[in-house]
Amino acid sequence: MLKKLILVVGARPNFMKVAPLIRESSRTYKDSFQPVLVHTGQHYDPEMSETFFRDLEIPTPDYNLEVGSATHSVQTARIMERFEPVCEKENPDCVVVFGDVNSTLACTLVAVKNHIPVAHVEAGLRSFDRSMPEEVNRVVTDVLSEYLFTPDKGSDQNLLNEGISPERIYRVGDIMVDALYWERKRAVHSQILASLGLGENVSYGVVTLHRAGNVDDSEILKRLVDILVAASEKCLLIFPVHPRTRDRLKSFHLLNKLLNTSRNDGKGIILTKPVGYRDFLKLIIDSEFVMTDSGGIQKETTVLGIPCLTLRSVTEWPVTVSHGTNRLLGNFPSVEGVVKNISDLLEKKVKNDVVLPELWDGKTSERILNVLSEKL
């Protein structure tokens, strides 16, 4: 009899994590598992979701809870209310959650209260900053989950330090690397640069900003805008703007400052709408560097060997600093300091020696399903 797995996604980073698991379950484990895909709609943009699902070849979700945006507490409560009837109807053998978004925590709470085991993919990550909502989601989800699938040794140790039984911990590697390896071959055919009016040999950096701590504080966001304007005098910047970030740039009267950086010498800032995963990978692969506050991009740049400047003072992915291409610039870095970092990168003064963590080999989804096939 097939074991039923509810796979929960809520935000775009989850899509990259669920795609390899769905592919592997339909290919190697089709006689073992029946996946049921639930999209909570935590971050729902119809156009963007459709693009990501198409790029990653994810089937249409079996359920869309359509919770939409709200405060953390209200959103978590809505997800719980709408997810419980799904669990009652489907009666799954396991609920699989990914990462650290509100959907991760909310669906874990519902499953545990209904005596359904939970598997947490990306368990054990810690920034050790409880002011981040993602950190709270990680810690609570790990306490409640039966199967803790970790990406590296450091994550194992974090869980052990918190008193979690080693019998619940399974180091399997990073599932986003599975998606990256699979999609990288297809990204070479992306026409994103041409659509932006750029040639294949243009030199540029990529920028992403979306974390509340960076974009919801007017003083911090103003500093980051000043950094981007100054950096754009050194190098062309391509900035796919997250909807939340665009709203804050408008409300803080900062958007025009970015729009007014147009130059005739191949520098300045190009603002775009968010792009699909395949197009975004193409942008990263061909870039000189990436400046971001995203956790996932810190990993992708490490795997691809692209320098990453992270606009945070802490990271849940320290392995990207110790073994990868990542540098932490802090929450309120100086304009001069960031420009100096960019100049060093452009002048090739920085060596990026990458030693990928063990098991970051594109086979994480296979290891996860192997454990679940034995344990469920």
The CA–CA distances, whole Å, from 164 to 75, 99, 148 equal 28, 18, 10
DSSP secondary structure code for residue 167 in this structure: G
| Measured CA angle at 277 (ends 140, 128), to 5 deg | 25
DSSP secondary structure code for residue 33 in this structure: E
Please provide the DSSP assignment of 281-312 as one string: HHHHHT-SEEEE--HHHHHHHHHHT--EEESS
Q: How many CB atoms lie within 10 A of CB 73?
A: 9
Q: What are phi and psi of 197, to 5 degrees?
A: 80, 25
Determine whether 115 is an active site residue: no
- Assess contact for 121 and 368: CB atoms under 8 A: yes
- Assess contact for 147 and 348: CB atoms under 8 A: no
Q: Residues with Cβ < 8 Å from 91, sequence gap 6 or more?
A: 4
- Assess contact for 42 and 75: CB atoms under 8 A: yes
Please provide the DSSP assignment of 170-225 as one string: EE---HHHHHHHHHHHHHTT--HHHHTT--TT--EEEE----HHHHSSHHHHHHHH
Least Cα distance to 342 among 245, 234, 207 occurs for 234
Query: From the candidates 39, 43, 120, 210, which is the catalytic residue?
Result: 210
- Nearest-angstrom CA–CA distance, 90 and 5: 9
Q: Coil, helix or strand for 327? A: strand
Least Cα distance to 6 among 65, 76, 77 occurs for 65
The tokens describing 133, both together, are 């909502």
By residue count, the chain amounts to: 376
Active site residues: 210
